[in-house]
Structure 1
Amino acid sequence: MSRSLAAVCLALLLAQPALAEPQALPEADRPKQLLLISFDGAHDNALWEKSRDIARRSGAHFTYFLSCTTLIPRAEAKGYKAPGKKAGRSNIGFAPTVEDVATRLDHIWNARQEGHEIANHACGHFDGKDWSKADWLSEFETFRDVVANAWKVNGLADREPEGWASFARTGIRGFRAPYLSAPDSLVAAEKDFGFAYDASLVTKGAMQPDEDGSLVRFGLPLIPEGPQNRRIIGMDYNLFVRHSAGMDNPSRSGEFEARTYTAFKAAFEAQYAGGRLPLQLGFHFVEMNGGAYWRAMERLVTDVCHRADVACVSYSEAIDLLAKQPAGPRS
């Protein structure tokens, strides 16, 4: 992660105004509590396996925001050019080998068959705060083409599953901006490109998504955490920065896991007992601080996703479920 992102995260850690406790709805009007777990980057094949296993055991569906350079072998890096960057540049690198790409493609397809959602996280993980609408559209088109042609260009055409091309062209419905950097030009490009939703916002607490014309906009919430219950974005990297200044400290992994689980569970139970607003939590395919944040996530979904009145769903599933619910509180 960049230093600029760390600075943004640290600024967001400042004390936030207290939010009113959500009001409980009458029992007859109570919708299911939605929990949305997502992963940015989705590169490490071991963590693809681990996350799918967690989902199988908990009954959860996850959203994987994929970075498309993870489908391009390093030897072919020059074939990718981000807006305003030299060819072959990527903030997150490229796949080490074709074999690594093949394993990831299998995970992507199998995860989709299991009910998970694959969404767009751009390609080279650049901060697009200064990109124009045309720049964003160029990156979206590159992502679509890389995914659509990933089997063929890697010499794996005989392994491409039936239906892959349709999935790549029309089945990727949402986007999250790298660094949560979402200028107005991004929203305009998302609408033109036909995305159903964006998940790049940050909100003061759990909120219903906004609908901006044809685009549904979700936001990761600020949730209370730690001894002082200071609010922080409900995402592993932000916790990593707060707990250990962005430096791995596995010797305190258990402590960080306990703090994180306490924060996650309290945020969930506040909504479950109150207004039943969707709760979103974000993660990366990196096990920071000895895996503390992934373990806290696993504990949460194991604890709550089997409840009859809880739905641990993807973003697209959440849109469909929310459309069927009566209008409730926004925050």
Structure 2
Amino acid sequence: MSRFFLLPLAAALTVGSANAKDDAIEPAKRKQLVIVSFDGAHDNLLWEKSRAMAKRTGAHFTYFLSCTFLFPKSERAKYQAPHEKRGRSNVGFAPDKDDTILRLGEIWLAKLEGHDIGSHACGHFDGGKWSEADWKAEFAFFRDSLKNAWQNAGVGEREPAGWQDFVARDIKGFRAPYLSAGSGLVKALEAEGFRYDASLVTKGPALPVASGAIARFGLPLIPEGTSGRPVIAMDYNLYVRHSKGKENPEKSAAFEESTLKAYRDAFDRQYDGERIPLQLGFHFVEMNAGAYWRALDRFLTETCGRADVACVNYVEAMDILAKDKKAAGAAL
């Protein structure tokens, strides 16, 4: 398993703490948005599982793709991250071309089913100290990898019609590995035509804030457990909270119940209050024997079908929020 970012509580309380209120529309008249995203987007079985979950619950997801999974390990030398040795990746590569081809098919099916495909950069390195030029180089490799993916996999004749337009126009969002976004990131995102960044952490559910032309979203801190201590609403952070980052399958059911209660409570607080979108983050790893994915499935099953709730991806959320400019502000 690759290492993921765990923000210290003291730092989390100071990052992206915008909580702008929407005075233009009464909260009870707005739909409660739920935004679910997955980082990495590599394991093909979890592509299938998540897409089936979406169909069953009516949700649309955002998948933040790490582009090294578009290359088999035998071609690792094609990639060089800023300030790293050629062929290095913190999350590895695809095992072979057949695995890559399956992944390309999953990406395309997800796009056709209304999901949002975003960038998680490539080799999952901490870019907190990267310059604008470093980020641009990483984004250029990401886009070239997608653009040429079917050819690189040796099945150019199977590239779907519309793939090139998808690569050029539909990759609109980004989340930084480890949620580590330095000063060079936003300018690079603007230069590369992105619309949003989802790398912040906020004190609680918050509307996106503007940084230049980029709308910046943040995963919220939500109360969890008997003490109600805040934790970032992401599966890995719960995994560290519950079992110190080590598998404990014997307590999987208990972890699932605690997570589901935290999601329900965070949702209810917004549904009964300001109706600020609730963002939940996941990885393509079923930690603690699948506790967090099971909690997500149960939460979406009981939530997304409600008439005044919309389980949407980040691009859809931006479009919904933008209908009321006073609520969305300059960020949208």
Structure 1 unmatched runs, 5+: 15-19
- What aligned pairs does 1:155-304 form with structure 2 within 5 A after superposition? 155-304=154-303
- What aligned pairs does 1:39-50 form with structure 2 within 5 A after superposition? 39-50=38-49
Give deviations 1:39-68, integer Å, cap 9, x for gaps: 000000010000000000000000000000
Distance 1:105 1:9, change over 3 A: farther
Distance 1:262 1:24, change over 3 A: farther
Residue 113 of structure 1 pairs with residue 112 of structure 2: yes
Secondary structure of the equivalent of 2:184? helix
Give deviations 1:208-247, integer Å, cap 9, x for gaps: 1012221100000000000100001000000000000000
Give the letter aligned to residue 226 of structure 1: G
Distance 1:55 1:190, change over 3 A: same
For residues 253 and 60 of structure 1, what CA distance do their matches in structure 2 show?
25
Distance 1:75 1:135, change over 3 A: same
Length-normalised TM-score, structure 1: 0.93
Residue 89 of structure 1 pairs with residue 121 of structure 2: no
Distance 1:13 1:325, change over 3 A: closer
Q: Per-residue deviation at 1:2?
A: 6.8
Corresponding residue number in structure 2 for 1:100: 99
Give the letter aligned to residue 271 of structure 1: Q
8 Å CA contact 1:205–1:222 kept in 2: the answer is yes
For residues 198 and 47 of structure 1, what CA distance do their matches in structure 2 show?
24
For residues 39 and 30 of structure 1, what CA distance do their matches in structure 2 show?
29
Give the letter aligned to residue 249 of structure 1: N
For residues 4 and 260 of structure 1, what CA distance do their matches in structure 2 show?
19
Length-normalised TM-score, structure 2: 0.93
Secondary structure of the equivalent of 2:34? strand
Give deviations 1:55-101, integer Å, cap 9, x for gaps: 00000000000000000111110001100111110000000010000
For residues 71 and 245 of structure 2, what CA distance do their matches in structure 1 show?
28
8 Å CA contact 1:66–1:122 kept in 2: the answer is yes
CA RMSD of aligned residues (A): 2.3
Distance 1:186 1:27, change over 3 A: closer
For residues 3 and 65 of structure 2, what CA distance do their matches in structure 1 show?
22
For residues 276 and 261 of structure 1, what CA distance do their matches in structure 2 show?
19
Q: Per-residue deviation at 1:192?
A: 1.3
User: Identity of paired residues, percent?
Assistant: 58
Number of residue pairs the alignment of both structures matches: 324
Give deviations 1:243-280, integer Å, cap 9, x for gaps: 00000101100000000000001101110111000110
8 Å CA contact 1:24–1:273 kept in 2: the answer is no
Distance 1:9 1:161, change over 3 A: farther
8 Å CA contact 2:220–2:232 kept in 1: the answer is yes
For residues 38 and 126 of structure 1, what CA distance do their matches in structure 2 show?
19
For residues 39 and 97 of structure 2, what CA distance do their matches in structure 1 show?
22
Corresponding residue number in structure 1 for 2:58: 59
Q: Per-residue deviation at 1:327?
A: 3.4
Corresponding residue number in structure 2 for 1:17: none
Corresponding residue number in structure 1 for 2:30: 31
Residue 79 of structure 1 pairs with residue 78 of structure 2: yes
8 Å CA contact 1:10–1:241 kept in 2: the answer is no
Secondary structure of the equivalent of 2:305? coil
Residue 127 of structure 1 pairs with residue 126 of structure 2: yes
Q: Per-residue deviation at 1:325?
A: 3.0
Secondary structure of the equivalent of 2:326? coil
Distance 1:173 1:4, change over 3 A: closer
For residues 160 and 3 of structure 2, what CA distance do their matches in structure 1 show?
40
8 Å CA contact 1:181–1:200 kept in 2: the answer is yes
Give the letter aligned to residue 181 of structure 1: S
For residues 280 and 23 of structure 2, what CA distance do their matches in structure 1 show?
22
More displaced 10-residue stretch of structure 1: 179-188 or 56-65: 179-188
Secondary structure of the equivalent of 2:201? strand
